[in-house]
């Protein structure tokens, strides 16, 4: 450690004011503070500070993402070998997925962080740690077959147009990772829907099994909800979908971690779930009785397990920057996300992934929700007089 | 028996260096000083010159904005130096204390019969008026105002704060006399707050003999002892209203004025913190040089000396002088050492209000905290953090944003008149983004006082 510190200190003058690489100071500082919590001391106000900072916060979210990432890697392999009717070991499944997913993660991080560093250097502002999480979220929301250059494009788009143009982490009004996904979804629909969910790179001596179908459960249920995979498959995640989204169980682990550490808002997670259950039940009640397979008949709890709802509710909706910020506002925000997710899924087959669009929609409405809550608060304060 | 008010949102920071309940009287330091900048917003005009002999209680300077408010010398002796800073602003008036203090005599008045005006006149004349402060703005009260109520918080909940019950116990009679005077000033609207739980020395029976005001019991963590929080829960301040408040130690000084007919500015100050050897209480005089309390009583080289507590105090040096209202000195280690991968490691020794460290599992542990910021300043990211430690019906982040936007109407709507910097200290402590919350609040109050 002493050695690393000395090394950092020895190159530091080059990046200080008047140094050779003065312009690269934000980039250097980002690296330095990644290695060392700086020895800054309080100068005004409180003399001691809580141990938490934004880096720690982001690190907690990364830990919460690990279950979905590991499961996603395994599932990529599992789906691949399933399509070819091959039985392989747990490790083989995982390693197949690992080598498929790793490049996507590396591209996402390196390109996104690169974009962030460039903007930081050009505008001479400190590089924030927000991308540590975004960089992992993007791959987990994409199909494994996505071309790497698209990942790169999405990372640049969401960093520059989703965040930096507004002033960086904390100033954006939409979740950057979700913005990356929605960008790819509309720009390259052929790569984001259809038979793209399973990696079908050829296996020598094996052909695709007849039972293979590339349809995700979101497409299946729209035609005939009784054809959905079993509840347990959907819960554990033995199904096709984006890399990280399939396992509701892994998302649940992440949710527990985020809620216990207090980093994610439990109000948002719970209200998203409630929103889905309420809207799902309402649609059950209104469903046409003469078409027993109609999507409106889908049991409300299936919506919790289908598609990316669990992933979205746990990791995307809880993003504190783009979510509602008041306590009451968080409940309204979550309920509406849940409700819109079900509505979009059931009534708009063109956009099967309802949760992505409804979170982005509520990101836009969050300031309005907060405004109403604050106005109400002010009224209550006046009434107290 | 009054109702107990329970404060739920807040936090008690347990750190090392609680003062032992032992009072050591200290001799006067070589020089005693009164510092005008202890009284924000006043414009000092000198009443003495270098070489002049003064008595204890004789005014050294007055406020140009309100010439009735003057600031008395805590000791008798010779004025030896007027220290001036930038633009010749007076920063210190130094007095060489006599060995035996000679007091300016004030005739004794009978509190039971005296009317409000006579009490105000006596407080102004003796300089004790400057102990009476007002909310909003936490400034010295204006004697022409009639406050809605007067508050005395009889406990301090801040980290390592002195035990006010223990201090009051030393001079219970003077405390009671002081309360009587305040009761008369408040037309009977005097509110006292006691701490419900723990082994507080001050109990109902101590106050019962004083047939004044109303008694409130507070329960819960810091900032339950903050007078602003208590006012918020008992008699919230609306626009245009004024509330006065006095610290118990200053109530004692006011009491002495009426009991003894003199301005006797002795106070008990607690020396606390991890870097203090044998933290304890000292009986000193207002304006005492700090080195007389700290010499040979500090354990480390690299420390920070704070007048007040770790949340709201001001950094000071040993050759500085005790502030006019000060009751506590805290000495904690500086934290200039960078820490390798500090944000990734589990870190069992760190304190955090969040649960991203393990401190939430051991709520009663005592910590040795240093002055490291533990991270860099960022934009607002996390939400709901401030609300957990601000026990007021106020939306802290929206108030802060209204202040940053200089939107006076919004600040008023969101309750700026009810708050003071100290109420937001815990928000600042726990802030993930390391934002200077107290400075923003102070700016807002200052702005609205000048422009509003």
Bigger pLDDT: A124 or B193?
A: B193
What string of H, E and C letters represents the secondary structure of B279-299?
CEEEEEECCCECHHHHCCCEC
Beta-carbon separation of A326 and B395 below 8 A:
yes
Calculate mean pLDDT across residues B63-89.
93
Give the pLDDT band of residue B208 (cuts 50, 70, 90): low
Separation in Å, CA B172 to CA A55, B76, B190, B210, B227: 51, 26, 18, 11, 21
Burial of residue B235 (CB within 10 Å: 0-12, 13-18, 19+) is middle
Residue-range domains of chain B with CATH: 4-13+108-260 (no CATH), 21-27+266-333 (3.10.20.600), 32-97 (2.40.50.100), 373-451 (no CATH)
Q: Which of A249, A229, A231 is nearest to A240 (CA)?
A: A229
Cross-chain residue pair B342–A36, CB shorter than 8 Å = yes
Nearest residue on chain B to A125, alpha-carbon basis: B378
pLDDT confidence bin for B203, thresholds 50/70/90:
low
**Across the interface, do B371 and A41 touch by the CB < 8 Å criterion?**
yes
pLDDT in tens, B135-187: 999 999 999 999 999 999 999 999 999 999 889 888 988 998 999 899 889 88
A194: left (phi over 0), alpha (psi -120 to 50) or beta: left
Give contacts of B11 with chain A, Cβ < 8 Å: none
Would an 8 Å CB–CB cutoff place A374 in contact with chain B? Answer: yes
The three-state secondary structure class of B60 is strand
CB B269 within 8 A of CB B284: yes
Chain B residues within an 8 Å CB radius of A321: 381
B336/A263 CB distance under 8 A: no
Which of A46, A169, A379 has the highest number of chain B CBs within 10 A, making it the mutation to test binding with B?
Answer: A46
How sure is the predictor about B211, in pLDDT bands with cuts at 50, 70 and 90? low
Q: How many CB atoms lie within 10 A of CB A368?
A: 12
Average pLDDT, chain B: 90
Confidence of residue B107 (pLDDT cuts 50, 70, 90): confident
List, for residues B281-301, the tens digit of each pLDDT value: 999 999 999 999 998 899 888
Q: What residues does each domain of chain A span?
A: 2-35, 54-203+215-374
ipTM (interface predicted TM):
0.91
B90 and B43 in contact (C-beta within 8 Å)? no
A positions 334-353 inside 8 Å of B (CB): none
Which residue would you say has higher pLDDT here, B358 or A269?
A269
Residue of A45, A169, A326 with shortest CB distance to B428: A45
The pLDDT, as a whole number, for residue A226 is 78
CB pairs under 8 A between A and B: 194
Distance from CA of B425 to the nearest CA of A (A): 6
Residue A155: per-residue pLDDT: 94
Confidence category of residue B204, pLDDT binned at 50, 70, 90: low
Q: Nearest by CB to B374, which of A5, A37, A327?
A: A37
Output the pLDDT for position B202: 66
Residues of chain A with pLDDT below 70 are 1, 385
* A337 to A316, A331, B387: CA distances (angstroms): 11, 10, 24
Is B1's pLDDT higher than 60? no
Instruction: Tell me what the mean pLDDT of segment B11-21 comes to.
Output: 93
- Residue A312's closest CA among A347, A383, A361, A349? A361
**DSSP 8-state symbol, A161:** T
Q: What is the pLDDT of residue B132?
A: 96
Q: Helices A248-261 and A266-286 meet at what angle, rounded to 10? A: 140
Lookup result for tokens 């000395």: A6
d(CA A55, CA A57): 5
Is there a contact between A52 and B375 if contact means CB atoms under 8 Å apart? yes
């Amino acid at each position: 450690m002493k050695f690393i510190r000395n090394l950092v200190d020895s190159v530091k003058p080059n990046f200080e004011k008047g140094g050779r690489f003065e312009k690269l100071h934000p980039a250097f500082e980002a690296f330095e503070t990644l290695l060392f919590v700086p020895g800054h001391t309080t100068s005004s106000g409180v003399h001691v500070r809580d141990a938490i900072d934004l880096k720690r916060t982001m690190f907690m979210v990364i830990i919460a993402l690990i279950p979905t990432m590991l499961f996603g890697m395994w599932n990529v392999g599992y789906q691949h070998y399933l399509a070819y009717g091959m039985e392989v070991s747990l490790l083989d499944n995982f390693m197949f997925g690992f080598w498929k997913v790793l490049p996507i993660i590396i591209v996402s991080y390196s390109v996104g962080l690169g974009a962030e560093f460039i903007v930081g250097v050009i505008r001479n502002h400190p590089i924030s740690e927000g991308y540590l999480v975004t960089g992992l979220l993007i791959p987990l929301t994409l199909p494994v077959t996505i071309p790497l250059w698209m990942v790169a494009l999405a990372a640049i788009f969401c960093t520059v147009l989703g965040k930096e143009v507004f002033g960086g982490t904390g100033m954006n009004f939409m979740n950057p990772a979700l913005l990356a996904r929605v960008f790819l979804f509309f720009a390259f629909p052929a790569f984001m829907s259809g038979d793209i969910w399973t990696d079908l790179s050829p296996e020598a001596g094996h052909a695709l099994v007849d039972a293979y179908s590339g349809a995700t459960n979101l497409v299946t249920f729209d035609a005939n909800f009784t054809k959905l995979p079993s509840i347990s498959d959907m819960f554990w995640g033995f199904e096709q979908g984006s890399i990280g989204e399939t396992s509701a169980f892994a998302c649940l682990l992440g949710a527990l971690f985020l809620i216990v550490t207090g980093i994610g808002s439990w109000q948002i997670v719970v209200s998203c779930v409630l929103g889905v259950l309420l809207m799902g039940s309402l649609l059950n009640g209104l469903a046409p009785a003469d078409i027993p397979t109609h999507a409106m008949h889908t049991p409300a709890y299936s919506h919790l397990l289908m598609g990316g709802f669990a992933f979205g509710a746990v990791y995307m909706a809880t993003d504190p920057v783009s979510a509602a910020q008041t306590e009451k506002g968080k409940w309204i925000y979550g309920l509406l996300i849940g409700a819109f997710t079900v509505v979009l899924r059931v009534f708009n087959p063109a956009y099967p992934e309802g949760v992505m669009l409804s979170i982005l929609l509520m990101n836009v409405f969050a300031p309005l929700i907060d405004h109403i809550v604050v106005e109400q608060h002010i009224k209550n304060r006046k009434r107290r007089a | 028996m009054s109702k107990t008010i329970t404060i739920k949102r807040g936090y008690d920071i347990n750190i090392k260096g609680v003062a032992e309940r032992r009072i050591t009287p200290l001799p006067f330091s070589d020089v005693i000083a009164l510092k005008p900048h202890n009284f924000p917003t006043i414009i000092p005009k000198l009443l003495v010159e270098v070489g002049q002999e003064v008595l204890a209680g004789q005014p050294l300077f007055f406020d140009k904005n309100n010439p009735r408010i003057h600031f008395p010398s805590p000791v008798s002796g010779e004025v030896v130096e007027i220290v001036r800073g930038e633009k010749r602003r007076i920063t210190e008036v130094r007095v060489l204390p006599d060995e035996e203090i000679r007091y300016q005599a004030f005739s004794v008045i009978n509190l039971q019969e005296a009317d409000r005006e006579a009490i105000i006149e006596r407080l102004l004349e003796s300089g004790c008026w400057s102990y009476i402060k007002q909310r909003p703005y936490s400034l010295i009260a204006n004697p022409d105002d009639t406050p809605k109520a007067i508050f005395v918080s009889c406990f301090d909940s801040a980290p390592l704060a002195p035990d006010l019950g223990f201090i009051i116990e030393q001079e219970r009679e003077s405390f009671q006399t002081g309360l009587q005077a305040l009761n008369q000033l408040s037309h009977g609207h005097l509110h006292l707050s006691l701490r419900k739980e723990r082994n507080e020395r001050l109990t109902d029976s101590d106050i019962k003999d004083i047939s004044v005001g109303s008694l409130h019991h507070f329960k819960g963590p810091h900032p339950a002892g903050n007078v602003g929080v208590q006012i918020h829960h008992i008699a919230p301040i609306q626009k245009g209203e004024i509330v006065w408040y006095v610290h118990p130690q200053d109530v004692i000084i006011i009491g002495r004025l009426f009991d003894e007919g003199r301005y006797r500015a002795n106070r008990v100050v607690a020396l606390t913190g991890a870097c203090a050897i044998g933290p304890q209480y000292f009986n000193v005089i207002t304006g005492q040089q700090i080195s007389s309390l700290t010499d040979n009583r500090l354990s480390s080289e690299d420390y920070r000396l704070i007048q007040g507590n770790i949340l709201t105090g001001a950094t000071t040096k040993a050759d500085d002088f005790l502030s006019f209202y000060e009751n506590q000195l805290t000495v904690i280690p500086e934290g200039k050492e960078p820490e390798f991968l500090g944000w990734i490691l589990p870190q069992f020794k760190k304190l955090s209000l969040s649960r991203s460290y393990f401190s939430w599992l051991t709520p009663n542990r005592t910590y040795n905290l240093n002055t490291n910021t533990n991270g860099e300043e960022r934009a607002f990211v996390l939400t709901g953090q401030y609300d957990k430690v601000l026990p007021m019906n106020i939306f802290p982040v929206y108030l802060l944003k209204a202040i940053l936007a200089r939107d006076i109407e919004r600040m008023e709507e969101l309750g700026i008149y009810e708050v003071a910097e100290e109420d937001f200290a815990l928000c600042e402590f726990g802030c993930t983004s390391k934002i200077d919350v107290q400075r923003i609040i102070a700016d807002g109050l200052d702005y609205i006082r000048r422009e509003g």
